[in-house]
Structures are given as structure tokens and as C-alpha cells.
Amino acid sequence: MGNDPLFLNKLAAAVLSAGLLAMITGFIAHQLYHPHVPAKQAYEIAAGVEEPSAQTASAPAGPQPIGPLLANANVANGEKVAKKCAACHTFEKGGPNKIGPNLWNVVGAKHAAHEGFSYSGVMQGMPGNWDYESLSKFIYSPKAYAKGTKMTFIGIKKDQERADVIAYLRTLSDSPKPLP
Ligand code: HEC
């Protein structure tokens, strides 16, 4: 051992291949002793894909796509609906954060981006921006869309009401984003 300069390399290689062998035999043993996996499912696991139909079948019925509803949305009604939000949010430009962040310019903004507000970890970890669809899903059911969110609001289940409030949020900007 002492004189072999490659000893450590060889040892590492031996350990690695032993580990690999254990994994392979474990896998084979698993296949032998649990042979009842249907070929289709086994293939999907191997390919790392999920069957989309299985997923949608088990998921709860979510909100309607918001795009078509926004086309007919009523901004004035949305402003009324937004009274429900006003306990926690302000809407005007430069308005203060309350229990929730100020919502000026939120449409199209990055998630959790309003200055000076301490967001939950889940909101901070959300990639991407608040587009119409993600706003709709969040407002439909905040805690379903962002498990662990600080927004303890039950959500707006009525599609047109939600579209109205999103259409109102859209107006809260110097240059409102185009409708979808
Ligand atoms: C009970 C208080 C409360 C109510 C009511 C409430 N929110 Fe919130 N909202 C929050 C809090 C707190 C957050 C921050 C969430 C987090 O960090 O997880 C938030 C976050 C948000 C965000 C994300 C903002 C950002 O900067 O990323 C949007 C959009 C939003 N709320 C819209 C609404 C709308 C629209 C309503 C009314 C229909 C509403 N909220 C009602 C407390 C509330």
C-alpha cells in the first residue's frame, strides 16, 4: 500500500464501483421482487415524465382561464370588490405597506418585489412575474397557490368578480400592461 502513489485513487475507485454495484443490484433485486409494476408505469418512471391526464384528474377544479373574462371586466366594480383587500393593502402610488404590500403597479411586477415589505419565504421563492393568470390563481385561493403565504385571505371564487378586481389592479400603473 505505502508505495503505491495511486493507492488513494484506486481505493476511491473501488469504493465508487462498490457503491454503484450495490445500487445496480438493489435496482435489479427490486425489479425481481416487485415485478407487478405495469410496463407503462415503469416506462414513465424511467423516463421521468408524469402522465398529464393523471395530474389534472386528481387536481381540484381551479379557476377559469382569466383572459376571456378580462375582456369583459368591469373596472368600477373591481374597485368596489377591492374594498375586501383594503384592510391589508393600499392601492395608490407610493402608498404605505400595511399588513400586505402596497399594490400600485403589481400587474407585471416581479413576485415579492415591493420595497420595504417583508414577504413570506414562499412568495420570495416564486420565480417570474405577476401575470394575469398567476394573479387570478393567487386571488382565487392564496393559500392553495402559495402554500405558506402570509396573505390570510379566503380568496375570490367568482370568476367575473376576480376578473373585475384584476382589471382594476391593472389600472394602478402609469402605463398599464396590455390585456392578454
Ligand atoms: C388579511 C390581509 C389581506 C387581505 C384581505 C388581502 N391581502 Fe393580499 N397580501 C397580504 C399579505 C400579508 C401579502 C404578502 C404575502 C406573502 O408575503 O406571502 C399579500 C400579497 C398580495 C399580492 C402579492 C404582492 C407582491 O408584491 O408580490 C397581491 C397581488 C395581493 N396580495 C392581492 C390582493 C387582493 C387583490 C386582495 C383582495 C381581493 C388581497 N390581496 C387581500 C394580505 C392580504
pLDDT confidence band for 62 (50 / 70 / 90): confident
Is pLDDT larger for residue 61 or for residue 148?
148
pLDDT confidence band for 98 (50 / 70 / 90): very high
Mean pLDDT on 124-139: 97
Nearest CA to ligand 1 atom 39: 85
Atom of ligand 1 nearest to the CA of 155: 38
Rounded Cα gap, residues 143 and 138, in angstroms: 8
- What is the reported pLDDT for 8? 75
Atom of ligand 1 nearest to the CA of 152: 1
Query: What percent of the chain has a predicted confidence (pLDDT) above 70?
Result: 76
Mean pLDDT of the chain: 85
116 close to 90: Cβ distance less than 8 angstroms: no
**Residue in 151, 156, 177 to alter for ligand 1 test, most ligand atoms within 8 A of Cβ:** 151
Mean pLDDT on 12-30: 69
Rounded Cα gap, residues 52 and 37, in angstroms: 19
- The one-letter code for the residue type at 173 is S
How many other C-beta atoms are found inside a 10 Å radius of the C-beta of residue 53?
A: 8
Nearest CA to ligand 1 atom 37: 85
How remote is the CA of residue 10 from the centroid of ligand 1, in Å? 58
- What is the reported pLDDT for 56? 46
Q: Which three cell numbers stand for residue 13?
A: 475507485
Mean pLDDT on 53-65: 60
169 close to 76: Cβ distance less than 8 angstroms: no
Mean pLDDT on 50-54: 46
* Ligand 1 pocket at CB < 6 A: 84-85, 87-89, 99-101, 103, 106, 111-114, 119-120, 123, 130, 135, 139, 149-153, 156, 165
- What is the reported pLDDT for 50? 47
Nearest CA to ligand 1 atom 3: 88
